[in-house]
Chains A and B, each alone.
Chain A
Amino acid sequence: MQRFANLVDSLAFTQSRNRKLSLLTDYFLTTSDPDRGWALAALTDGLPLRVPLRRILPEILADIVDPVLYHLSRDYVGDTAETVALLWPDRPEYQRDGARVTLDSVVTAFATAPNSSHAEILKGLLDALEPSSRFALLKLLGGAPRVGVSARLAKLALAQAFEQPVSEIEESWHAVDAPYLALFDWLNGDGPRPDPGGRPVFRPMMLAHPIEDEDRTKLDPDDLLAEWKWDGIRVQVAAQMGEVRLFSRTGDDISAGFPDIVTAFTGRNCILDGELLVVREDEVAPFNDLQQRLNRKTVSARMVRDYPAHIRLYDSLQIDEKDLRDLPLIERRKRLEHWHRAHPPLSTDLSPLVPFNTFDELTHLWQNTRAEGIEGLMLKRKDSPYLSGRPRGHWWKWKRAPLTLDCVLMYAQRGSGKRSSYYSDYTFGVWRDAPDDGAELVPVGKAYSGFTDAELLELDRFIRSNTTDRFGPVRAVSPKLVLEVAFDALQKSTRHKSGIAMRFPRIARIRWDKPVSEADTLSRAQSLLKAPSLDKRG
């Protein structure tokens, strides 16, 4: 437990991705089975345990701490697991047993005991552990350590630690259950690569490159298929042997949040690639609606009804046990269409092909994507096999041109990691009324990218010499500098004072030359609000 607690601590305080990777690598190489497997599960998909902390904790805390002191502490610390870990009394006489507490012993204890004794078990464990292990334990049981480790990063760490291709790890990953003993046996060279057999597993996805001008001159339209680029999230749905799993682009299993999709695919035998959307009466809802469904471990019936999930399919990796990944796209597409026509699952449709003959025609279509509420175009070589990762020369994304607003820099915040000594996160605003009416600025967004290192230095200098107020890591800056901000879309938002929120904002240009009085107004910004989706193509 102590080793896992140390890992959780180090990961939580480390900003650098490479350092996180080396912490994980080191942990997997030096920790024995089955603990490293449980740790892997805890950091990624969660442990196969349901311990109702919300009910148990108040019960066991009642004997431990005065309720007033607990609430004052909880308010101060801001996190329940951390509060309990810190104020739980240290009992040296029990803590001698702490070294014997392993992840495996924790999982076994909870998995084999009746629910009614969970509180007693938890109490015993908290007594035996020191504060950082108590914290790790509670986070483990709570289901989300939140230490900035994605399934993808964990797989990369395994790949690095055991010198195996990450794509093979991704395929074997879901072939075994936590604590993944067969996976580690294979990685250690002590066993065969786990065969997913009949179980639905994640297949590494094929990703696209942004299209460059030179790509367009080199490509022959006859070699390409075009599709609309949808504004949802990329998913893989895998159905086999009565089981259905929905995976995100990084291989995180998000099935639990989408029972509607799981039901639609139950009994099917396929692995398909598509876009997860919220669709009501054939209309794609704004991304905001989809967001309501994301990052949930469970979802209420009401959520499912109000935000109905839908998959717009565009590729097939496997149908009826047959791996199609080596076939050319045009063939995979044909099989997908055939399969879908034969028995279309509920909540699915096919992403239509966009007919075109020349790049001029395509450019024309692309220019209209914004008006039609579509994110852009996808171009794919007809002969492209389904490869893992982001191979060059097969698929391209052609995102619609960004919108821009001239905004005024209002606040700057220190960055993190390498940027911690720089003011690198910028909050900017537009004028509420015409600038000469003694108008006020209202914040419309925040961005921390789009500028060069040299520009960052200049911005940092500007901020330090134009600070009007400080709030911890944030400085208020006197309104003197115009930033041209590019963003993909504007959405209505009740969380922001301005009533609007930007998607993917970044600094396009620093307008040292432009007087702030010429920055944009809120009414101009509102005119860019995303029009309701017009698309009914699906």
Chain B
Amino acid sequence: MTHSAHIAERWLYPTDAGLYCEPGDFFIDPHLPTPRAVITHGHADHARAGHDAVLTTSETAAIMRLRYGPDAVGRFETVAYGETHRINGLDLKLVPAGHILGSAQVVLEYQGSRIAISGDYKRSPDPTCEAFEPINCDVFVTEATFALPVFRHEVAQKEIQRLLASLRLEPDRPHLVGVYGLGKCQRVIKLLREEGYDDPIWLHGALISLCDLYKDLGHDLGDLRVVDTEKPGGTAQGIIMCPPSALGDRWSRRFPDSVSAFASGWMRIRARARQRGVELPLVISDHADWPELIGTIRETGAAEIWVTHGRDDALVHQLSQMGVKAKALALVGFEDEAE
């Protein structure tokens, strides 16, 4: 073990509540309420309510206020990307992670060693958020959601073209697209717009408020309409976005002859798509795939890699084959399905 990495273990380590930074006296993405939390991004398994103080990007703060109400967190302290923040001799910076709007890596520097905590991240372009910025560091703390060599995501644009091709082929069948409400939804909408789809896009009620927030934060999503809750189907047609749980649930019955699509990295695996009865699996992910994980780890130049959640066994094995020190932190509370 290198000297810096060895030292790092003494001031950043896993606890029951989550990853804890001792000199800064804060937790990163804790899953229990804490006095002070640094939050990488707004997904529910990373950003939880009940902390006394939260330090994060202004976008993530806006997302948390929207999701949990104005009083769910004692006080927000927001920092811009790249701005250095000094706490008890420790330097903290938030750097774009490319995962969703407002997502950040947490870069910590203390007594000469630098640790970057990735949160969730991806390297492929996303029109709704800033691109991941690789950080040269001693220890890189990475996610591993898709850490198996079978996971190589498609180019998102190509998947969107498949969706549009299917719609052209069967224009009379509404296309229900299951998407995670924060991030994936807005990314898919924006990609559709970039591909020239200008028709109204219909939304399940649960997706409205986050889309509105994206619009408020300056992301034009075009003509969005809400699926009428009263009438079966109503006037909705073409592309209809809904949470994955609504696919094949009672809500979807109002579209009796629909094509069910699901935009997720898990759709790479046929059994996953079949399990959900998905007719049009779209491999669009907001997480790094296997080559991105390996490539990013190399790019950081880190002598040691800590793996937070996902398929850590495969990644740790691969890194040890590459001669990189790696260990699984086995943090609890992160959801495999957060896609």
Contacts and interface: CB of A to CB of B under 8 A. Distances in A.
Interface in B272-325: 273-275, 277-281, 311, 313-314, 317-318, 321
Contact of A86 (B152, B278, B311): B152
Interface centre among B260, B314, B321 (most CB of A within 10 A): B314
Nearest to A19: B279
Interface residues of A, number: 28
Given A69-B317, A421-B253, A473-B275, A83 B150 contact: yes
A352 interface: no
A90 B152 contact: yes
Interface in A86-138: 86-87, 90, 131
Interface string A154-175: 0000000000000000000000
Interface in A412-444: 414, 416-418, 420-421
A472 B275 contact: yes
B317 A66 contact: yes
Interface centre among B150, B152, B250, B281 (most CB of A within 10 A): B150
A83 B151 CA distance: 10
A86 B250 CA distance: 34
Contacts of A77: 150, 269, 271
Contacts of B311: 72, 76
A359 interface: no
A69 B148 contact: yes
A414 B271 contact: no
A65 interface: yes
B281 A13 contact: yes
A28 to B, nearest CB: 17
Contacts of A131: 152
A14 interface: yes
B148 A76 contact: yes
A14 B279 contact: yes
B322 to A, nearest CB: 10
B317 A421 contact: no
B277 A72 contact: no
A86 B150 CA distance: 5
Interface residues of B, number: 31
B205 interface: no
A73 interface: yes
Contacts of A68: 314, 317
A417 B260 CA distance: 10
A82 interface: yes
Nearest to A85: B150
B156 to A, nearest CB: 16
Given A78-B271, A421-B248, A73 B279 contact: no
A367 interface: no
Contacts of B4: none
B270 to A, nearest CB: 6
B250 A421 contact: yes
Interface in A37-94: 65-66, 68-69, 72-73, 76-79, 82-83, 86-87, 90
Given A417-B277, A472-B275, A86 B253 contact: no
B252 interface: yes
B278 A13 contact: yes
A69 B314 contact: yes
Contacts of A65: 149
A73 B149 contact: yes
B219 interface: no
B277 A420 contact: yes
A353 interface: no
A414 B248 contact: yes
Contacts of B230: none
B274 A12 contact: yes
Nearest to B270: A82
Contacts of A76: 148, 150, 269, 311
A420 B273 contact: no
Contacts of A90: 152
Contacts of A417: 277
B193 interface: no
Given A13-B273, A86-B152, A87-B149, A72 B279 contact: no
Nearest to A87: B149
Contact of A79 (B151, B271, B317): B271
B268 interface: yes
A15 interface: yes
B249 interface: yes
Contact of B148 (A13, A73, A418, A421): A73
A189 B249 CA distance: 48
Contacts of B251: 421
A208 to B, nearest CB: 34
Contact of B280 (A13, A72, A73, A414): A13
Nearest to A473: B275
A-B complex: 5 closest residue pairs judged by Cβ atoms: A86-B150, A420-B248, A87-B149, A420-B277, A73-B150
Given A13-B274, A69-B149, A86-B149, 5 more contacts: A12-B274, A73-B314, A76-B150, A83-B150, A131-B152
20 contacts: A12-B274, A13-B273, A13-B281, A14-B279, A15-B277, A65-B149, A68-B317, A72-B317, A76-B150, A77-B269, A79-B270, A82-B269, A86-B151, A87-B148, A87-B150, A90-B152, A417-B277, A421-B249, A421-B252, A421-B253
